[in-house]
Amino acid sequence: MSEVQAQYEAYPYPERDPADERRRLITGSPSHPWEIDHFLFAGQRDWTRPLRALIAGGGTGDGLIQLAALLTAAGRPYEITYLDLSTAARAIAEERARVRGLTGIRFETGSLLEAADYGTFDYIDCCGVLHHLPEPQAGFDALSRALAPGGGIGLMVYAPYGRSGVYPLQEAFGALGAGLAPRDKLTMAKRVFAGLPEGHPFKRNPHLVDHDASDAGFYDLLLHSQDRPYTVNELDDSLARAGLELVSFTQPALYDLDLLLPEGVRAPAGLDRTQRMALAEKLRGTIKTHVAYAVAAGRGAQALARPSDLSLVPQIKGGTGAQLARVAAAKGALRLTQGAEKITVPLPKSAAPLLAAIDGRRSLGGIAQRAGLDPVGFAAAWAPLHRALGDWGLMLYARP
């Protein structure tokens, strides 16, 4: 058994108690059905057709349970294959599904490098796994081979700058713990960690929290034997080599260079999208994971939902249109907490009636009609909302 396998048998990740399924559903990115629709199916997926999904490296099941539970609640058909090397993680994921009474899930123990042996998939979730493979490119390639035509991938990989302080500690603990069993390694590392000087870059980094959450979190963050982060450029390159293309990050605003440059400072002309995002990643400095959707190369433009299509239905994540309308009318801006940062997103007061019309069923065309706007007037009024909410991942276009 490899060291990585031994880790996830000893510390299935993330640490979860299946009994908690009775009181809450963990939601997040990637793999919320609205995101899948918005980033991979242009907001137009026909959800009466079963979604064939693969959860590659599903761990204790957060992505799996979210997808299966939300589709079940919406009465939408699916066939989900869960795949992971760790039998301990699988046992927890299976129990979570059982507690919720979820059906339609096939549990498999094996490597995502053989993903295509399990079928072809409309959607593949691969969250927090590729950067732990001995040869990550082989993982990108394997997932690409398992995609059905027209399908897409939701993925998360580590990013370097927001994880500053992690890698020197991983190296030091790796050397100190060589030959120790996972539990002894954890005990040793926690003792050393407790005595680190306050000025250590890890201690100065407010974005790192996993080590405080659980033993599995500490192990995953600081004792991993295989962990390589990706810059925007490196991610773009790995996707391209696998015949894939980035559709979008789930929060494109994080990578928006214009939001980081003061008036009068301009990026050199001729930078392409990736180069601009790579510069933004360096200037922002706090991105610790890249959460992204990808499709076969050449399909990116048609995969992404765009509000020029008035048949699209906007959905508000984590709230309602009515709530946002009240915030817009009262404050003209929305305050967001983004990791350890506070961000202010402008929400023009004049947009309050448009926000109030978002009910999860009404199309953009219906919203325009209700507001008495013709398509040109609506496009002008909607654009700032799309930028403010869409670019922070708070508004998605998806079939209800």
Ligand X SMILES: C[S@@+](CC[C@H](N)C(=O)[O-])C[C@H]1O[C@@H](n2cnc3c(N)ncnc32)[C@H](O)[C@@H]1O
| DSSP symbol at 262 | P
Angle between helices 3-10 and 87-100 (to 10 degrees): 40
Is the Cβ of residue 127 or residue 304 nearer to ligand X in the bound state?
127
Nearest distance from residue 387's CB to ligand X, in Å? 29
Is the Cβ of residue 14 or residue 177 nearer to ligand X in the bound state?
14
Structural tokens at position 70: 């939300």
Contact between 92 and 16 under an 8 Å Cβ cutoff? The reply is yes
Is the Cβ of residue 37 or residue 220 nearer to ligand X in the bound state?
220
Is the Cβ of residue 42 or residue 251 nearer to ligand X in the bound state?
251
Distance CA 240, CA 246 (A): 9
Nearest distance from residue 67's CB to ligand X, in Å? 12
Is the Cβ of residue 6 or residue 310 nearer to ligand X in the bound state?
6
Question: Which candidate, 189, 387, 210, 174, places its Cα nearest to that of 289?
Answer: 210
Nearest distance from residue 304's CB to ligand X, in Å? 23
| Total residue length of the chain | 400
Nearest distance from residue 284's CB to ligand X, in Å? 23
Structural tokens at position 64: 């799996």
Nearest distance from residue 90's CB to ligand X, in Å? 8
SS3 of 269-283:
CCCCHHHHHHHHHHH
Is the Cβ of residue 142 or residue 280 nearer to ligand X in the bound state?
142
Q: What are phi and psi of 15, to 5 degrees?
A: -65, 120
Contact between 292 and 235 under an 8 Å Cβ cutoff? The reply is yes
Binding site for ligand X (CB under 6 A): 4, 8, 13-14, 57-59, 62-63, 83-86, 89, 111-113, 127-129, 132-133, 220
Is the Cβ of residue 133 or residue 316 nearer to ligand X in the bound state?
133
* CA distance to 182, 252, 259, 268, 284, per residue, from 265 (Å): 50, 21, 11, 10, 16
Q: Verify cis geometry, omega within 30 degrees of 0, for the bond prior to 14.
A: yes
Nearest distance from residue 114's CB to ligand X, in Å? 8
| DSSP symbol at 163 | G
Nearest distance from residue 258's CB to ligand X, in Å? 31
- The CB-nearest residue to ligand X is 59
